[in-house]
Structure 1
Amino acid sequence: MAQMKLLRIYTDEAAYYGDRKVFEVVASRARDAHLAGATVVQALFGFGRTAHQHRRHVLEDEQSLVIEIVDTDAHVRAFAASLSDIRGIGLMTLEAVEILGGDTVEGIAQ
């Protein structure tokens, strides 16, 4: 199996790229790039470099989000580079992962 990587992209619900939320733009681009899949995970609480606390408020949504994408090393690196025009991405991390099972395992490595 090819070297698989997990790309994590940190942002928040309040981040916009034009008139769309950053997480929606990233997920759409991941689909358009034919990546194996993307999952957006909502955090209960988070803060970043500025120490601004991100949490759900009664009148607004400002929670931290993490977008997780698993694919081959080459695919996720190229995808991460393609996001350079999007402001509102706080951090991107990349780590090796081992695929244990799933419906798309064979399709990912090809």
Structure 2
Amino acid sequence: MKLEGSALRLTIFVGESDTWHHRPLYHEIVHRAHAAGLAGASVLRGIEGYGASSRIHTSRILSLSEDLPLAIIIVDAEDRIRAFLPQLDELVAEGLVIIDPVEVIRYAGRGDER
């Protein structure tokens, strides 16, 4: 897949303990993005944060949080990102979904020549 120039970055913020049918929500989002043929997805685990609940979640040992913030980031062409949004409406009950414009400078897999 070739991806360069103008694109959209879709970022979904959820909690580590969020689930979809007894499986981690982030796992379901990544697998649906893959099935939809999106260019790629990454899940980043935060060390501290809070959201709409205003409850601070932290990785500090004394707090023993099991619900750290996660960000699922997907970059692809605008039409493909927008076509994926209805799936997020189904999946994300609590969280934040944002889209921002980006410019892709290089998108290459392993083994791709420079």
SS of equivalent residue, structure 1 residue 75: helix
Which residues in structure 2 correspond to 1:30-109 (within 5 Å)? 30-56=33-59, 61-103=66-108
Taking the aligned partners of 1:20 and 1:71, their CA distance within structure 2 comes to 25
Taking the aligned partners of 1:102 and 1:64, their CA distance within structure 2 comes to 27
* Gaps in structure 1 of 5+ consecutive residues: 105-110
Identical residues among aligned pairs (%): 28
Taking the aligned partners of 1:102 and 1:37, their CA distance within structure 2 comes to 10
SS of equivalent residue, structure 1 residue 84: helix
Change (3 A) 1:72 1:40: same
Taking the aligned partners of 2:104 and 2:75, their CA distance within structure 1 comes to 9
Offset at residue 56 of structure 1 (A): 2.9
Number of residues paired by the alignment?
Answer: 104
* Gaps in structure 2 of 5+ consecutive residues: 110-114
SS of equivalent residue, structure 1 residue 74: helix
Q: Which is higher, the Rg of structure 1 or of structure 2?
A: 2
Taking the aligned partners of 1:39 and 1:89, their CA distance within structure 2 comes to 19
RMSD over equivalenced CA pairs, Å: 1.8
TM-score by length of 2: 0.81
TM-score by length of 1: 0.84
